[in-house]
C-alpha cells in the first residue's frame, strides 16, 4: 500500500521537524553543561573508554610540579672586605680655580670567595668634589664588576679624592 502524495509530504515534514527538535534539545543540554561545568579536571573513569587525549590530560594533571630549587647563596661581602680606590683617568687644572677630574673606582676584595651566581649592588660615596659628595653604585658578581667613569671638579689641584662603601645589597637572581 502506498501513501498518497500529500501524506508522504506531511510525513517528511513531521520527520524533519522531529529531528530538528531532538537536535535543538541536545544542543541545549550540551550548552548548559558547558556553562555549569567548573574548571576542575574530571577523573577518567576507565582507560578502555578514555581517548588518548583524555589519558594525556589526566597524566598531566596528576604529575606534581617540580619544587622550585634555589641554590643556597654564597657568602655575603662586608663593607670591610672591599677597598675602593679612585683611579684618575683624566685631570685638567685651572690654576687657583681647581681641577676637572675624571675617575674610575677600582675595587679590591679581601673577603671569602664570592659565588659567580650571586650579584651584589655596592653603593659608594666619593668625597673631594667641589659641589659635595657624589653617590654611585656598581654591581659585583664573583670577582667581576663594571664601573662607569665619574666626572667631578675640585676646589684646588691638591684636593684629595677618596671613595668609601656605604651599602651592599644582594640582587635577587
Q: Are residues 44 and 106 in the same domain?
A: no
What are 54-75's pLDDT values in tens digits? 777 777 765 555 555 555 567 8
Q: Domain containing 21: what range?
A: 5-62
The reply to whether 73 falls in a domain is no
Global pTM value: 0.57
The reply to whether 32 falls in a domain is yes
The reply to whether 163 falls in a domain is yes
Phi-psi region of 98 (alpha: psi -120 to 50; beta: other; left: phi over 0): left
What distance in Å separates the CA atoms of residue 129 and residue 74, rounded to the nearest whole number?
A: 36
Max Cα separation, the chain? Answer: 129
What's the confidence (pLDDT) of residue 35?
59
Q: Are residues 148 and 85 in the same domain?
A: yes
What are 134-160's pLDDT values in tens digits? 999 999 998 899 888 999 999 999 999
What are 81-123's pLDDT values in tens digits? 999 999 999 999 998 889 999 999 999 999 999 999 999 999 9
The reply to whether 9 falls in a domain is yes
What are 116-125's pLDDT values in tens digits? 999 999 999 9
Which strands sit side by side in the sheet containing 119-127, from one edge to the other?
A: 144-145, 134-141, 119-127, 162-171
Amino acid at each position: 500500500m502506498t501513501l498518497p502524495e500529500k501524506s508522504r509530504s506531511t510525513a517528511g515534514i513531521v520527520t524533519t521537524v522531529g529531528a530538528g527538535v531532538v537536535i535543538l534539545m541536545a544542543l541545549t543540554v550540551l550548552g548548559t553543561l558547558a556553562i555549569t561545568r567548573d574548571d576542575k579536571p574530571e577523573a577518567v573513569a576507565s582507560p578502555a573508554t578514555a581517548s588518548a587525549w583524555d589519558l594525556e590530560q589526566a597524566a598531566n594533571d596528576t604529575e606534581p610540579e617540580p619544587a622550585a630549587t634555589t641554590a643556597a647563596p654564597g657568602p655575603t661581602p662586608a663593607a670591610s672586605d672591599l677597598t675602593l680606590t679612585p683611579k684618575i683617568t683624566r685631570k685638567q687644572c685651572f690654576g687657583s680655580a681647581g681641577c676637572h677630574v675624571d675617575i674610575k673606582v677600582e675595587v679590591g676584595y679581601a673577603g671569602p670567595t664570592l659565588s659567580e651566581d650571586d650579584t651584589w649592588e655596592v653603593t659608594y660615596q666619593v668625597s673631594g668634589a667641589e659641589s659635595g659628595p657624589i653617590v654611585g653604585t656598581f654591581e659585583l658578581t664573583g670577582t667581576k664588576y663594571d664601573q662607569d667613569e665619574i666626572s667631578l671638579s675640585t676646589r684646588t689641584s691638591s684636593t684629595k679624592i677618596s671613595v668609601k662603601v656605604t651599602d651592599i645589597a644582594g640582587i635577587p637572581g
